[in-house]
Amino acid sequence: EAGVVQSPRYKIIEKKQPVAFWCNPISGHNTLYWYRQNLGQGPELLIRYENEEAVDDSQLPKDRFSAERLKGVDSTLKIQPAELGDSAVYLCASSLGLMGQKNEKLFFGSGTQLSVL
Amino acid sequence: QKEVEQNSGPLSVPEGAIASLNCTYSDRGSQSFFWYRQYSGKSPELIMFIYSNGDKEDGRFTAQLNKASQYVSLLIRDSQPSDSATYLCAALSGTYKYIFGTGTRLKVLA
């Protein structure tokens, strides 16, 4: 069974340019997460989807970041325009989405390493 | 105060020794705790989770939870150089939000 698939693996752009990241979660996983991880830090949640509904986007900088999860499967995270401080690894994760279960495990994709010059 | 705190390390242990990684959390409503291992340049992978007070063992790994002290730990027995990585502690809050610590870098010296 395929894991969480992300693309691209690396992206280098100049500041003020737009960039998009794509994620395909594990089949059957209802919950999808986008995290940002800065060097030497733990992942920080940007947005969480339950099926196609964004249930937690409180940490998403909405002036420049947007996300969508059409049909409750694949998701795209976009930054427009990118700033130097957006350089980080963007991780997508998915889980079964069994609300109320204490063992709700996250499975991460390989991430997209973004460098903004 | 960060919600999940870990010592960033590095924690250096000799091969074959026990590595002890610690984590504290501030939200008493947190119900489950997870340890993820992250190799340099790779994404986190789940090692263990625990939600009941006490110890939980899986092979060379033991997770320990003390809810009264809001303390979680991971013990790695017979540490191997291949265990060298960053270990992330995560808490699942009562609102089903995952909060990660900054991670502890472990170095196992051959």
**What is the distance in angstroms between the Cα of A67 and the nearest Cα belonging to chain B?**
18
Residues of chain A with Cβ-Cβ distance to B87 below 8 Å are none
pLDDT at B1 over 60: no
Residues of chain B with Cβ-Cβ distance to A98 below 8 Å are none
The pLDDT score that the predictor gives to residue B94 is: 78
Q: Averaged over B72-85, what is the pLDDT?
A: 97
**What is the distance in angstroms between the Cα of B98 and the nearest Cα belonging to chain A?**
8
Distance CA B63, CA B46 (A): 12
CB A111 within 8 A of CB B43: yes
CB pairs under 8 A between A and B: 51
Q: Averaged over B4-29, what is the pLDDT?
A: 95
Q: Chain-centre distance of CA B100, in angstroms?
A: 10
**What is the distance in angstroms between the Cα of A19 and the nearest Cα belonging to chain B?**
21
pLDDT tier for residue B93 given thresholds of 50, 70 and 90: confident
A56 in B contact zone (CB under 8 Å): yes
Lowest mean pLDDT among B33-42, B76-85, B91-100: B91-100
Top residue of B33, B40, B98 to mutate, by most chain A CBs within 10 Å, is B98
Top residue of A4, A23, A33, A37 to mutate, by most chain B CBs within 10 Å, is A37
Closest CA in chain B for residue A42: B102
The pLDDT score that the predictor gives to residue B104 is: 96
pLDDT at B109 over 60: yes
Q: What is the mean pLDDT of each run of 10 residues along chain A (117 residues)?
A: 91 97 94 94 94 90 94 93 96 83 85 97
| Of residues B17 and B94, more confidently modeled | B17
pLDDT tier for residue B86 given thresholds of 50, 70 and 90: very high
CB A49 within 8 A of CB A32: yes
The pLDDT score that the predictor gives to residue A49 is: 93
pLDDT at B91 over 70: yes
pLDDT at B56 over 60: yes
**Cross-chain CB nearest to A43 (options B44, B46, B49):** B44
- Record the tokens describing residue A36, joined without a space: 């940002």
The pLDDT score that the predictor gives to residue B88 is: 97
Distance CA B101, CA B90 (A): 6
Closest CA in chain A for residue B35: A105
pLDDT at B62 over 90: yes
**What is the distance in angstroms between the Cα of A53 and the nearest Cα belonging to chain B?**
15
Task: Please tell me whether residue B42 adopts helix, strand or coil conformation.
Answer: coil
The pLDDT score that the predictor gives to residue A1 is: 63
Closest CA in chain A for residue B86: A40
- Record the tokens describing residue B21, joined without a space: 């990684």
Closest CA in chain A for residue B44: A108
